[in-house]
Amino acid sequence: MPGLEDRRATLPEDAATERLDRALARAFPDVSRSRLQDLIRAGQVCRDGAVSRDPSAKVGPGAELAVVIPAAVAPEPVAQALDLAIVYEDDDLIVIDKPAGLVVHPAPGHESGTLVNGLIAHCGESLSGIGGVRRPGIVHRIDKDTSGLLVVAKNDLAHAGLTAQFADHGRTGPLERAYLALAWGVPEPRAGTIAANLARSVRNREKIAVVRGEGGRHAITHYRVEAVLGAEAPVALVRCTLETGRTHQIRVHLSHRGHPLLGDAVYGGAFKTKAGRLGPAARAALGTLGRQALHASVLGFAHPRTGDTLHFESPLPADLQALVTALRDGA
């Protein structure tokens, strides 16, 4: 049929028994595993001539696999021209320095004006169908009110390669993510690791909470105090690197240690009175900030096609730099 691609593969006689989605990902490395899982559930995959709708079904040596790949469906979000801060771009991926306030992908309450809308306008057809209808090309995200670097895939090969690196969290490859944060007080010791499981709060579904014991999702943040600013109300400039990438991870981990981020209305509400102990210029800069003081400053990864290590750094944006300057000057 027009627009359909019928692809077939036979597993080697010495192949190990594994999940159907993994076997397909090995057979068709240019198609992302998430897309293959969707195709399996949609009945577009056959194993030994029979339709299989279970991505976890086991397949073994000699299995005949066939997958029908429909033509890419245009993303639902509309194209909207945005002034994107493009740090790097090639045929496979694009690295963006996201400003605070920009939502990454459409969601209830944010159906337009998102980074995805801008990417569709900029990249056009290349994003179609990659990573899902609502999140074309997105392999990781940062909060609306967090600024900084993120990478977007422009085709299935890049999406699969980048997704695998983010899932591995840099354990076996060059993936690196570092953030700069301004936190109330000074963490002690001044360099260390926070390991605390995270889950959706049962009291407030908008918040993430630390979970005691075995519950929640494993989460690890490494931190180092870069500078101590201010005197009456000390503030630490903290560099955080992620070993895992959970929702609100840095914000929750530092708050759990008693050092919430400046400007964080969700996790730092109890520290609002500390702002009154800052100098006039610092108070004004914090009031203007209007968001959590968090910036994705470093992003590194292996290029999914060439294997070359790419490394990008983003300086503090003007709002955070103004706050740092005021705090450092004691003004």
| Long-range pairs, 34-39, Cβ under 8 A, ≥24 | 34/131, 34/132, 34/159, 34/163, 35/129, 35/131, 35/156, 36/67, 38/132, 39/67, 39/68, 39/69
Catalytic: 264? no
Helix intervals (H) in 72-220: 115-123, 156-168
Could you tell me which residues come within 8 angstroms of residue 106 by beta carbon, excluding any fewer than 6 positions away? 76, 77, 112, 114, 116, 117, 134
Question: What is the DSSP annotation of 270-314?
Answer: GGGGGGGGS-HHHHHHHHHH-S--EEEEEEEEE-TTT--EEEEE-
Angstrom distance (rounded) from CA 255 to CA 196:
12
Please identify which of the residues 21, 143, 145, 264 carries the catalytic annotation: 143
Binning the chain into helix, strand and coil, the percentages to the nearest 5 are: 25, 30, 45
Active site residues: 143
